[in-house]
Amino acid sequence: MEFRESIKAWLEENCPPSMRTPMPNSEQVWASSKISFPSKEAEEWFKAMTANGFCTPDWPQEYGGAGLNDEEIKILKEELLNINARPAQINFGITMLGPIILEYANKEQKELFLPKISRGEIWWCQGFSEPGSGSDLASLSTSATKDGDHYVINGAKIWTSEANKADYMYCLVRTSKESKQGGISFILIDMNSQGIEVKPIKLLSGQSPFCQVFFSDVRVPVANLIGEENQGWEIAKRLLALERMMMSDLGSEGAVDVDPMKLFKERNLTKETSLYYRIVRHSMRQNAIDLTMSRAAMEARLGSFNPSMVLKYLSTEEVQQRWELNLYALGSIGIKDLESAQGDEFDIIKSFFYSKAYTIAGGSSEIQLNIISKNILGLPNE
């Protein structure tokens, strides 16, 4: 009770009223060496959260965290939710890479990278998929050949989110051809290194969040290797589980959200009974998923259940349904191009297009179903 009251008091003092409202894409604060803020209040909120380690509450204080226990973390998250506080920063280093560094990196690597990640000083991108290695990720061919105290990297990655803005990439590379999965290593690459070329990929929405990245004799220090050489596949599976859990909770990163029922009422669509019942069914499924996620999170902390692929599949499929319903509620406005759309129209149309990537990123729905059938249901591998 004492900790909860202290958190309530701290939030009342440090979270500006404007940071207790829904956050549009244009006001997201991305961790970066060139970090920028849409307002003075956003900067104040960011500095307050990072100074106290509340962006990484479970990390040790020596690495920029708050050193809270499970119960304290639960209380902090509940109180942030109670006041509708915006995420202070959007940072894949926190949600995906940070836990990997904590688990696999050496002391020097932890001291170098973790405080910077917690303080939002690095924009990370993920170098996994390749033009010839998507669902069969273990067939990747981007090579890393050791040359003294460096690796020389050649190859290409694709569908790399925000690579054109990133400071660093955490990347899977092939360090041995003797084993498909056993010849992969996990390495951190400075995106300013000589020999890296980034080409954005324009999507149907007109946006370019994805990129293709080319490596031509890029020299990366051996000191940037995380874990042991050829241990990358083990590390990648752990990181993908973290990514799938993050994608199961697509609201955790402050993504724009529009409630289909709210839009339905605002547009006075009461005669559209078919759409109404579709929205009701969606709301019921989403509530069930949210409750399951809460229960699974508690079980996961006890080490009794790893639900990432199940929840990732259910959640991303339902998120696509949500944006389809929002688009239907817009009616003919929903066929506008993004350049002429405004306000909610813009967010809905853009999010509808972008939502199609959710069931591909982090492992496609088909791959998730294969994993579930084999590893959970025990169905034959045929």
Query: Tens of pLDDT along 8-22?
Result: 999 999 999 999 987
Render 258-275 in DSSP notation, one character per residue.
--HHHHHHHTT-TT-HHH
Strands 168-174 and 124-127, how do they pair?
Answer: parallel
Query: Could you list the active site residues?
Result: 243
From residue 354, alpha-carbon distances to 42, 207, 220, 277, 372 in Å are 25, 9, 33, 25, 25
Is residue 167 a contact partner of residue 191, using CB atoms and an 8 Å limit? Answer: yes
Query: Tens of pLDDT along 7-63?
Result: 999 999 999 999 998 787 788 899 999 999 999 999 999 999 999 999 999 999 999
From first to last of its 382 residues, what are the pLDDT tens digits of the chain? Answer: 799 999 999 999 999 999 998 787 788 899 999 999 999 999 999 999 999 999 999 999 999 999 999 889 989 989 998 998 999 999 989 988 999 999 999 999 999 999 999 999 999 999 999 998 877 888 999 999 999 999 999 999 998 989 999 999 999 999 999 999 999 999 999 999 999 999 999 876 666 788 999 999 999 999 999 999 999 999 998 888 777 666 656 554 444 567 888 888 888 887 788 888 898 898 888 888 877 776 766 665 555 555 667 777 788 888 888 888 888 888 776 666 666 666 677 778 777 877 887 777 767 777 777 777 777 777 776 6
User: Residue 283 region, left (φ>0) first, then alpha (ψ -120 to 50), else beta?
Assistant: alpha
CA 192, 45, 86, 302 torsion-angle sign: positive
Residue 100, token pair as written in the block: 């990997």
What domains sit in the chain, N to C, each tagged with a CATH number? 2-118 (1.10.540.10), 124-230 (2.40.110.10), 256-376 (1.20.140.10)
From residue 82, alpha-carbon distances to 11, 26, 69, 343 in Å are 11, 23, 20, 26
